[in-house]
């Protein structure tokens, strides 16, 4: 059984993430979505809120999905869930350098686990959780970037009601 791991912060989960999950799910028998605690990014949503949102948004995927929290070294976590692939989404050049370096370092740590890069649908590529939060906090419309339940969660979190 081929198991893939898609790690991220998902603060919050966007349509870009969901597109990568849908594409990645076609490549594996089971996809583990690893939600990092990532205190260095000071997430808007708690770990439990992010786990719940990812689980809620991934009920209708083409393969078995498991959503798990992790706060260890990525490659150790990948091994512990039996993953042979780490899936990452690539957005234009901005992601490239960081992802290139991460994939290279992870090759050193375990050459048996491959990092696979996927591109989201062209229309969804500019979407980033950071910008979704920034736009929402300034009163902008984020409905093209997240699902309606996530939209509601974001507005509730930043103290604005959904118009």
The catalytic residue positions are 17, 41, 91, 129
The residues, any chain, with a CB within 8 Å of residue 31's CB and separated by 6 or more, are 3, 4, 5, 6, 21, 24, 25, 61, 63, 64, 65, 66, 87
Among 31, 77, 129, 146, binds ligand ADP (CB under 6 A): 129
Nearer to ligand ADP, 1 or 9 (CB): 9
d(C-alpha 161, C-alpha 49), whole Å: 18
**CA 19 from centroid of its chain's CA atoms:** 10
* Tokens linked to 141: 């419309």
Distance, CA of 5 to CA of 114 (rounded, Å): 10
Of 25, 120, 136, 142, which lies in the binding site for ligand ADP, with binding defined by CB under 6 A? 120
Question: Hey, which residues between 14 and 53 contact ligand ADP (CB under 6 A)?
Answer: 14, 16-17, 20
Contact between 162 and ligand ADP per CB under 6 A: no
Considering only 130, 144, 152, 160, the residue that binds ligand ADP (CB under 6 A) is 130
- Segment lying near ligand ADP (by CB under 6 A), choices 54-62, 64-72, 117-125, 146-154: 117-125
Please, which residues have CB within 8 angstroms of residue 123's CB and are 6 or more apart in sequence?
none
Residues at the contact surface with ligand ADP, assessed by CB under 6 A: 8-10, 14, 16-17, 20, 88-89, 91, 95, 120, 124-125, 127-130
């Amino acid at each position: 059984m081929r198991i893939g791991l898609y790690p991220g912060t998902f603060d919050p989960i966007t349509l870009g993430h969901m597109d990568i999950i849908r594409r990645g799910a076609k490549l594996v028998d089971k996809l583990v979505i690893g939600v990092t605690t990532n205190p260095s990014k000071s997430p808007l949503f708690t770990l439990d809120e992010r786990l719940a949102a990812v689980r809620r948004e991934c009920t209708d995927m083409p393969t078995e999905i498991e959503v798990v929290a992790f706060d260890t070294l990525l490659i150790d976590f990948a091994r512990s869930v039996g993953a042979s692939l780490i899936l990452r989404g690539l957005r234009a050049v901005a992601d490239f350098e960081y992802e290139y370096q991460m994939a290279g370092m992870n090759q050193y740590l375990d050459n048996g686990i491959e990092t696979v890069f996927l591109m989201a649908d062209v229309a969804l590529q500019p979407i980033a959780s950071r910008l979704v939060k920034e736009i929402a906090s300034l009163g902008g419309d984020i409905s093209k970037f997240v699902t309606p339940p996530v939209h509601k969660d974001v507005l509730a979190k930043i103290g604005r009601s959904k118009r």
